[in-house]
Amino acid sequence: MRIILLGPPGAGKGTQSERIVERFGIPQLSTGDMLRAAVAAGTPVGLEAKAVMESGGLVSDTTVVGIVADRIEESDAKRGFILDGFPRTVEQAAALDAMLARKGIALSAVVEFKVDETALLGRIAKRAEETAARGQPVRKDDTPEVFKTRLDAYRKQTAPLSDYYAKTGLLHVIDGMQPIDTVTQKTMSVLGQHAETAAS
């Protein structure tokens, strides 16, 4: 099963991903996590991405498409994967389509979490607080100022993907303002319909 999770920062993609990983045993491929790891390791990709990420902008399509293309070649992704935070632009979506077509595989579903933007700022503040309370480093882009830029980037560059995937018939929209467990239940119910393809 190959799934894309869509939704603005703070919509719950990470939390729902963890639960899908547990249920279906497919890996979560988060471009944000991969880029943060590259920044921490000081790789060429990390050096390119660092400042852009800290300002809340988007890393170049070429770079991100490249890391995803490499990652989905790894053995754990053969049975499927969850893409979290990718694609983020229509160009990335088109590049993904071409990449999957070359490999002779297809997406199973796109799940979009719709959320009320005014509530997101509160969620992000909570995520930063909880991370700090666990003694873990807080993401530099989880500040109110940078968050606004990230939300703006989402609205302008990523929101059009909703129409893009609606046209392919792959899109399922879920109200992400519901309690976390309800969102999980609805997500699992959507994905359950595709579980048969997951086995193939």
Residue 19 falls in the annotated catalytic set? no
Segment interacting with ligand AMP, rule: CB under 6 A, options 81-89, 101-109, 119-127, 189-197: 81-89
Alpha carbon 143 to its chain centroid, in Å, reads 19
Q: Are 39 and 33 in contact (CB under 8 A)?
A: no
Select 29 or 199, whichever has its Cβ closest to ligand AMP: 29
Residue 121 in tokens: 């700022």
Give the active site residue among 2, 36, 71, 139.
Answer: 139
Looking up tokens 């002779």, which residue turns up? Answer: 104
150 catalytic residue (yes or no): yes
Query: Which span (49-57, 124-132, 165-173, 177-185) binds ligand AMP, by CB under 6 A?
Result: 49-57
Q: Is residue 20 close enough to count as binding ligand AMP by CB under 6 A?
A: no
> Is residue 13 among the annotated active site residues?
yes
Active site residue: 2, 50, 150, 186, which one? Answer: 150
Angle at 111 between CA 110 and CA 117, to 5 degrees: 130
Instruction: Mark whether 79 is an active-site residue.
Output: no
Q: Is the torsion defined by CA of 178, 159, 72, 142 positive or negative?
A: negative
50 contacts ligand AMP (rule: CB under 6 A):
no
How close are the terminal C-alpha atoms of the chain, in Å? 8
**Strand (E) or helix (H) holding 49:** helix 44-55
* Residues recognised as catalytic: 13, 88, 127, 139, 150
Q: Would you tell me which residues interact with ligand AMP (CB under 6 A)?
A: 9, 31-32, 35, 52-53, 56-59, 64, 85-86, 88, 92, 141, 150
